[in-house]
Amino acid sequence: MREDKLTQKSRRQFIKTSALVTVGTSLAPYLFAAGELGQAAPLMKRTFGRIGFQVTTFGLGGQSSLQWTPENTDPVAIIEKAYHLGVNYFDTSNVYGPSQMNYGKAFRRLGLVPGMSNYEESKRKAIFLTSKTNLRFGKGGEDRKEVMGHTNGPEGSKALDDVRRSLTQIFGDGFGKYPKDAYLDMVLIHALGRMEEIDALYEGYAHPDPNAQTIGALAALRDVRDGTNRTGLNPKNERLIRHVGFSGHNDPAVMIEMIQRDTENLVEGMLVAINANDKRYFNMQYNVIPVAAAKNMGIIAMKVFADGAMYSKKAEWSRDPSHVVLEVGSREIPANKLIHYSLSTPGIHTAIIGIGKISDDPSNCQLSYNLKHAQVGAGAMPDDERREIEEIAFRAKEGKTNYFQKSFQELTPPREIKVVRNEKSAVVTWHTAYAGDAAIDRYEIWRDNIKIGELPFLPQTTKTPYRFEDKNPGTGSYMVKVADKKNRVANTAEVT
């Protein structure tokens, strides 16, 4: 694992903008190395949105060797090493094969399982454990197989079955039992990709009815978060999770819809694909990430190395141990710069990275390397440095690494423009445009080809549309234009 050195100019710019002054002047201080030598040194942390937890900038991903374990690799040792180095964000899922069971083995050794003789509650509270469900219903939904989702659990499972399965595999006997004080810090609705899935998830959310034939996963998860039984699916009033979120790899428009429909601020976390080839696709950094940040959600980056496609792996979904990348970083594409890019994207709090291998030699240890270079302060990286890293990432398969992401989309016109007139004014409303490869700057309102108003761009966090009131309407026609930071424009059709 090799890294090239930043230019002196680039280094000065990055230090200036990344708030590293509290830990010295090194671009990425090897904080954990001192800890390994017996000298305690804290890892950098960020406030995890409105959740409030102080999360390390590096989180341990639940796939790679934790799911598809190569020969001569101990996945439990990877978890233990991350914990001992100070990592406090841990990721897993109900569809990651043995990943949750591997966490269970590690957590027993580490004293994180309630009821065991070595358990320490303070140690459990000091970490943040997230699992996931791919299931879209809390009840019913068998007639909508196209949006039901899947699990590695028993056939017919629903979202709360996945929650309990996580608890038994991580904290219990693996066969259904778990200690009464066991909980997950967050459950993510995993891998959203279609609008129909959002419809399923929110079914019964506003008015849960225990007698309903179909209840979406969100209403059910809210019950086990709050210890209530409004859905009839939590008869023991268990409180099994602390927070609810979702993840998405593919379509930022779907993810925006997920956030906008949440009228109760139930959804507090988002796991999102973001790496230095993001802008070559329907990008996350100018579309859904600003919306989530505007709602102060905890935001986790994934696919920092495009699931290894930045290096030796083909740009396709991983399926077995042969797809686990055991060497990250090269002279052409330094891994440290890819980490810096994702973690300095505005809104991101932590990045989960799967680990293929560890070693007692830090120079040959993926975990040590990635953790070292995740010591990046919050705040925007200078635009010229982001462009430099984007050019570096293009060297990987000509930028065609993000197989999980929708194809590139230009700046779109504002959506669903409407004009409502009364005696004194005309009210123009519209819904958000989607950004291309530059952030949106403003909306302009035009009447009869004359600009009559302008609104600065603010992310649309609810289903309430943007609104402009024309108090001198006349009888003309209207259009709304959107302009991005490169002054490119897209406009709606005229509405009379």
What are the tens digits of pLDDT across the range 9-46? 444 444 443 433 223 222 233 344 434 433 346 899 99
> Is 449 inside any structural domain?
yes
Determine, yes or no, domain membership for 276: yes
Whole-number pLDDT of residue 1: 52
* Residue at 170 is within a domain: yes
Residues 44 and 151 in one domain: yes
Q: Which domain holds residue 64?
A: 8-399
Contacts of 148 (CB under 8 A, 6+ apart): 135, 136, 137, 141, 142, 200
pTM above 0.85, yes or no: yes
Strands annotated E in 314-365: 350-353
- Give the number of domains in the chain: 2
Residue 71 inside a domain? The answer is: yes
For residue 476, the model assigns a pLDDT of 87
Instruction: Give me the pLDDT at residue 8, please.
Output: 43
Considering the domain boundaries, does residue 341 fall inside one?
yes
Q: Residue 219: give its domain's CATH number.
A: 3.20.20.100
Q: Are residues 285 and 430 in the same domain?
A: no
Same domain, 101 and 172: yes
pLDDT score for 496: 86
Assess whether 371 and 480 both reside in one domain: no
| Domain's final residue, options 399, 429, 453 | 399
- The per-residue pLDDT for 359 is 96
Do 306 and 440 fall within a single domain? no
Res 6: pLDDT: 40
165 phi and psi angles, rounded to 5 deg? -65, -40
d(CA 245, CA 269): 4
We report the CATH number of the domain holding residue 430 as: 2.60.40.10
Q: What is the mean pLDDT of each run of 10 residues along the chain (496 residues)?
A: 43 40 29 40 94 98 98 97 98 98 98 98 98 98 95 96 98 97 98 98 97 98 98 98 98 98 98 98 98 98 98 96 95 97 97 97 95 90 94 98 98 97 93 98 96 98 98 90 98 95
**Residue that terminates a domain, selected from 399, 434, 467:** 399
219 and 312 assigned to the same domain: yes
130/176 same-domain check: yes
* The predicted structure's pLDDT at residue 100: 98
- Residue 236 neighbours by CB under 8 Å, 6+ apart: none
Q: Are residues 294 and 363 in the same domain?
A: yes
pLDDT at 37: 33
Q: Are 334 and 279 in contact (CB under 8 A)?
A: no
Give the pLDDT score at 40: 45
